[in-house]
Structure 1
Amino acid sequence: MTANTYKPEQITALYARLSQEDALDGDSNSIVNQKAVLSKYASDNGFTNPVFFIDDGVSGVTFDRPNFNRMIAEIEAGNVATVIVKDMSRLGRDYLKVGYYTEIFFVERDVRYIAINDGVDSAKGDNDFTPFRNLFNDFYAKDTSKKVRAIKKAQGMAGEHLTKPPYGYKVDPNDRKKWIVDEEAAVVVKRIFDLCVAGNGPMRIAKTLKADKVLTTRAHYAKQKGKPLPDNPYSWNESTIVAVLERMDYCGHTVNFKSYSKSHKLKKRIPTTKEQQAIFHNTHEAIVEEAVFERVQELRANKRRPTKAERQGMFSGLVFCADCGSKLHFATCKSFNGSQDNYRCARYKSNTGDCTAHFIREEVLRKIVLNRIFVVTALFYEDITAFMELIQKQRFDEAEKDMKRKRREVGQARKRIAELDRIFKRIYEDDINGTISHERFLKLSAEYEAEQKELTEKVKAEQQEVDTYEQNKSDFDSFAAIIRKYVGITELTPTIVNEFIKKIVVHAPEKIDGKRFQKVDIVFNFVGEIYLPTDPQTEQKEANKQEKTA
């Protein structure tokens, strides 16, 4: 490139960059050092109108940097005559992009480019070694990325936090590796979960917090640091609410490796599966009970959409068809009063689908559910021991025999897997020594590998069932806590429904002696379906009576 056409009003852009990894190399690459080198060079060589563009703590593999972008905007506007950097690596460590800027972008815009320590000056002609220097810088970035990933991997597998504390926590001033509860923010986190259990979606929760003038996460941090509050300090974002509701850290657990990038040059993070994550339990104080967190995840999986009538069914997302397993959709319109709101099978489709309506009015369902909660609560307080025995008999007695068998099978399978490992070693030695033919070895090893794989999968599946069973046995206390919490209720609320009820299964109505009967199964959280020693058709009679008067 020849010398650029200089305009007096143009500036000399002095660009400095330092990544977190570069800072470890000492003072030679520090921002202060870079500014001193750039200022002296510009002054000694007669470059006028010097303006600094500094990106501190930004990696060289990304070119989406605030002040780099600002410099590029000035260049595109024709306001820059010369760009000066300390060395080529300060411009970036991606040799393809660095090459684009130095060999195409700057050339097309008649901008002179100087890298002081590398002896690069576009006004003096091409430097044949520059492309190789860019490549070395790229290799350096790749090698540094590998080292950083290895360190992060070791820290993550040791249970250390790999991210900053989420909203609701803060770093312990006495131990930077630990999180402690931020009491002010924790109150808001708890409220967000409570609002979700009460049947509110993220958008409605955001609107509620805004109406109550609760500071957003950004505003909260600004207030803590004594900085001015941002514009719209109460304007909560739906995505922020979703992020809070989906974060297991609030249960007191550390969850590492929740996302990854395909390359050190890519900023996009890809979510990992639960199996790829490393979860360490009880590493810090919990803000939300685990049972509440799990219930919120279940409710989030069955998202409820507001109807055009701006009413939402109390049981939306909880009611299922007994025949096809589909959800029963909530049906209403502005002309309906409350008694006409109803649920019907999603696959009914006005009698054009492949299932019947399984129609049931919400008013009827409210009475059925409230009555069942009354009966269960009464039985609990009348004789808690008898109630516990009832639950145990229905859920655990029959399952206990099956679990004993599964535990025994798991133990036997693990012994066989260990035995197969010894057999593999023995036949491998026989193959090496020539005791058996290699063909025989391949045949035997294939058979043993298939058996071991099958046993390993069986152990995993049956152990999961055993673990679930053990967890279920401890869930009685959680259900008892809900009963005690809502003793004496006279009407249902979305919160009560979501805490008590896991699922409602509605059967198709049938005619018996000319009367309409409809079976409704109620599955409670923690304890499942409870078969009470009452008239099995009480609910159906109630439903029949209500529908006649509706």
Structure 2
Amino acid sequence: MKVAIYCRLSEEDKNKQSETDDSESIQNQKSMLIQYAIERQWSIYNIYSDDDYTGADRSRPAFNQLLADAEKRKFDIVLCKTQSRFTRELELVEKYIHHFFPLWHIRFISIVDNADTEIKGNKKARQINGLINEWYLEDMSENIKSVLTNKRKNGVHIGAFALYGYQKDPNQKGHLIIDEEAAQIVREVFTLFSQGYGKTAIARILNDRGMPNPTEYKRLKNLRYQQPKTKNSTLWKYFAISNMLTNEIYIGNMVQGKYGSISYKTKENKPIPKEQWIKVSCTHEPIIDRELWDNVQELIKEKAKPFSVGTIGIFAKKAKCMYCDYVMRSTKSHDRYYLKCETKHVANEACIGSFISVAELERAVIAELKSMITEYLDKDELEQQVSITNNLNEKREKLKAEVTTFQRKASEYAKGIQDVYLDKSKGIITESEFLQFYQNFCKEKERLEMQASKTRDKLEIIERKMQSADSRRQIIEEYLDITKLNREMTVKLIDFIRVGKRSPETKQIPIEIHWNF
């Protein structure tokens, strides 16, 4: 028998000597599990180890590699210290330990809590373990959230990264101290803006001098930083200047809680309304004095006034440059509104740049939307769509019935396995007859479960298609006579738009519209 050993470090018992060392906990787990396998004369296929990952993290590299190898039937047993080391999520317990592992003929064993998929009647215990672990995750999430909120209200900095211009105080946890080299740039940005320089102009000044942007500066100084997701990541950009000029941390106020998690099961965050942000005054030394700050805030308000009316803003954060993938910025000239690639203007040869008037982009979006509506409303097309919808409905009902049938038959074979086992125990059938029945019943049960799984996948595809058709129909009814766009429409209809540069030959601007339906 080939065994795969899986170890995971829990937050409660980590005790690392250095970042590159395995934790003491990991070493103990390995020793225990290797000894367990040797005593049973199992061959160790591989040891999969995740250090510094929680039991709810689905992106654990070793965990995902183990699942990939399990699907390829590279071993016969998965061995863990406890079921919670494998996962704390009940959903994953059901998905892998109770569904896929049996299909892949893989036995799951956890030593301490006696979980073993080969022991009859052990399933309820594994499910109870899974449920307890799920409650543990939820409670731990709420406890952590409560502790972090309390720290924020006390003005303690709890972020992973210090804001550009500051460093984490090595002598006081949660306190910020000024990083004088970066602070000089922050003061210069505020001073230049107060003297009438625009945000793009300030970015260009810094780039022309070869000043690294906040992310690159931290990288060069070996400070903690967030990995950039786009090209030209070393350049200062309009939005970096814009965000800096409105961040109250630079006047000594700690502002936190701008984002919150969607669920304890995911790392995804959602923005929190501004009125719910946690702000504590005078928590650290300011970089910008109050007089300069107030002056800059007044100038920002004045500059924002001309852009608060008209069509400006309908494509905010929706239009991206086709060449560097950065969000295009709004601008105004002679009472007309435009979108332009900021990267082209903040540094030489950084990007060839995209540029389009808001009116032209609006016309292009409306034209494509009307084209899709016209195509859909074509009589033959409409009849075809009705026919397709009816067809999909029939297929959906048929697939639902098939899933029910497969599940019912699989249950019958599961009961048959129990019955033949009882018959063998009572001496009604021989050992060899039992084995033959058992193998046949198991094989047929697995085949039916696999068929049920495949049919469920087909059913999901059908339902997605039907939802897509309903979405199109709703859009047609709502936007049949559209002549003008507003912000609410673009948010609902458009995922994002890529805009290119006008062609000298055709005079056309390449536009790619990615719809939400």
TM-score by structure 2 length? 0.48
TM-score by structure 1 length? 0.46
